[in-house]
Structure 1
Amino acid sequence: MTLKIAFMAGKSEVAQSAHDVLTARYGDVPPTEADVIVALGGDGFMLRTLHATQDLPAPVYGMNCGTIGFLMNEYNEEGLMERLEEAVQEDINPLSMEAMDQTGRVHRALAINEVSLLRAGPQAAKLKITVDGKVRLDELVCDGALLSTPAGSTAYNYSAHGPILPIGADVLALTAIAAFRPRRWRGALLPKRVTVRFDVLESAKRPVMADADSISIDNIDWVEIKSDPTIKHRILFDPGHGLEERLISEQFN
């Protein structure tokens, strides 16, 4: 059976050129009619593609036309149909973020990698952290904090010295960004089922922004985050190069 492919490409010259070559060779259908969606770009474009197509049945296969390409497969215009037929699927649940800003408006967004809170002024942020209704940290003085999925644990989380999580782990990583008080607090590993709440202390004096996969909310008062099992992102990888292998390999580089 010949797979029906929908190609989606980032704005870069490299991605657009790849789109022209591949569509001419393999054809192109709308995403709603596709058996598989091929995303051409970097990790940022892959995240946008997954969000845009989350209600469609077709899985997404990324081909790297960007820089790092952790969520992508190697670009090669040869043998694409065979690679798609042999690809291995990984399923990922996103984080659901609900945030209220200082005007009282509530914002909602989904994040495949992480939800991060970042100071938006010259002074450090002050955050209170509550897990499933129980206050776990009365005051974290920091540049920010983030909650990461296993899929996102090698991204911003890892740069902030958070742990790399196996893709099948039912845990989330809560990581501090440049913590000042408590000085030695580096974060926590939490069950995937919990709800994490951040309250911004002295929010008028110490403004904080929240970001969910590049969807940013300014001047927040509080944020609640939890994994959403009702949404499943399906990502395809070449055999032997899936997320589990990449997460393990990253720890030995």
Structure 2
Amino acid sequence: MDRSVYIAMTGATQVMRAQAEVAHNLANANTTGFKAELSAFQSMPVQGDGLATRINGVAQGKGWDSAGGKQMETGNDLDIAVQGDGWIAVQAPDGSEAYTRAGNLRVDADGLLTDARGNPVVGGGGPITIQQASSLKIGADGTISVVPLGETPSTVATTDRVKLVNPGNDQLSYGSDGLMHMKDGSQAEADANVRVTSGAVESSNVNPSEVLVQMISLSREFEMQVRSIKAADENAQSASKLLQVG
């Protein structure tokens, strides 16, 4: 069988993979702090016997879009938005330290400060626990101040400080858990220069219009690959009939 069928089939498969990634980005267009994943098609030679006359188009990941999302004011004292470069340290589901820009924090029933997914926020000595308080404020440097229950507003106690880091985007990789991890598996050092704004969150950096255009383009590419498969099959059938006649 001519290798054009195999190449078209491989191309269609790769387009479907790229489409799934684009769909994932679109589904998270309204997810706080989400960073769009990037990929591109690259030409790869077909391995095997014969002359190197054919190539495959392979969709390969290129990392993630580091551009910041829009700052949206919420008025919620537990919401924070990182200003400029930097990340909020959280504890990933596997127990390792990871990083996120999603600052829509909350306090669970046990007093543990978590992100929206339930990952504990890391402080100076590990996950942060908040005592029962009548009010809570998070300062620009991540310092958490509370007014304990039964105390006057003038009685302010500092409980902990959210760990803010800025290791450099080239040191981070996108994990399957939706969080950023250090490429070498280490923990980033706290950076006192990272600042946050209280009462605001950072939106997703996905542009829905651009993503929809990508989806349409990929759909057309998939149709082209399917037509190539049909054309190769029709050519093979015609060639077979000619051989039978001969």
User: What TM-score do you get using the length of structure 2 for normalisation?
Assistant: 0.23
Higher helix share: 2
Higher strand share: 1
Higher-Rg structure is 2
User: What TM-score do you get using the length of structure 1 for normalisation?
Assistant: 0.23
